[in-house]
Amino acid sequence: MPFPRANAEMEMKRAFTLIELLVVIVIIAILMGLAFPVFQSIQNQAKKVQAKNDLTQIVTAVNAFYTEYGKYPLTPTTPADTSYGGAASNGALFNELRNIAATQNPRGIIFLSPPDAKDQTNARGEIKTSDGQFYDPWGKPYLVRVDTNYDSFVANPYSSNAGTAKDPSGNLAVQAGVIAWSLGKNQIGGTGDKNSTDSNDDVISWQ
C-alpha cells in the first residue's frame, strides 16, 4: 500500500530537516563563541584609542590654562604636586577647565569641553554632571597629576620603565607640567611593566 510508505518518507524528511536546523544552530553558536573574544578585543582597543585622545586633550587644556594665566589651576597654598581622580575628585579641576562654577578662570575660557554623560549613572568617556568628574571609557575617573610646586617635574606613578629622570628630591619623575592616565579595563594599575597583567592595559599621556 503506497500511503503508509509516503507518510513514512514525509516523516523522515521532516526529521532530517529538524536535524539540519539543529546542526545550523550549533554551528552558529560555535562561530559566535569564536567571534565574541575578537569583538571584545576590538572594542577594548577602540576604548584605548578614545582614552589616549582624551588624555591628550586633558594635558593640552591644563597647559593652555598655564599659558593663559601663568599658573596651573587650583594651585595649593602649600607647594606640592596635586593629584586628581584617585582619593581626590577630578571634578574641581575639570570645572575650572570647562568654566563651570570656576573660581580661577576669570576670563571664562573653555579649555576643555568633553560631552556630558547620556546616562548619569554610567558615564564612560564623558562628564558626570552630578560630580563634574571626567570618566574614562571603562567608567572610572581619569587620573591627573599637575606640577603645582613648579619644579618642572611630576612624580611618576610607575616604577618600571620610568626612565632615569628624577625630581629635585631624587624621586622618579616625569619632566612635564601635567600628566594624565587611565588604569584601563582591569582598573588595577601597577608598576608600568609592559609584561605585567596589572598595568599592561593602562593608557598614559607621557609615552
User: 144: part of which helix (H) or strand (E)?
Assistant: strand 143-146
| pLDDT at residue 97, rounded to an integer | 97
pLDDT digits (tens, 9 = 90+) for 17-30: 778 788 888 888 88
d(CA 32, CA 16): 24
**pLDDT over 70 at 191, yes or no:** no
Q: What is the DSSP letter of 167?
A: -
The residue among 112, 144, 111 whose CA lies nearest residue 126 is 112
Query: Which whole number is the average pLDDT over 100-121?
Result: 94
Q: Tell me the per-residue pLDDT of 152-171, one tens digit each, with 9 for 90 and over.
A: 999 888 876 666 778 888 88
Domains of the chain by residue range = 44-204
Distances (CA, A) of 198 to 108, 164, 194: 40, 22, 9
Q: Which residues are within 8 A (CB) of 97 and not within 5 positions of it... i.e. 6 or more apart?
A: 61, 62, 65, 73, 105, 110, 111, 112
Residues in CB range of 179: below 8 A, 6 or more apart:
59, 144, 145, 154, 157, 204, 205, 206
Using one digit for the tens of pLDDT, what is the confidence trace for 41-97? 788 899 999 999 999 999 999 999 999 999 999 988 888 899 999 889 999 999 999
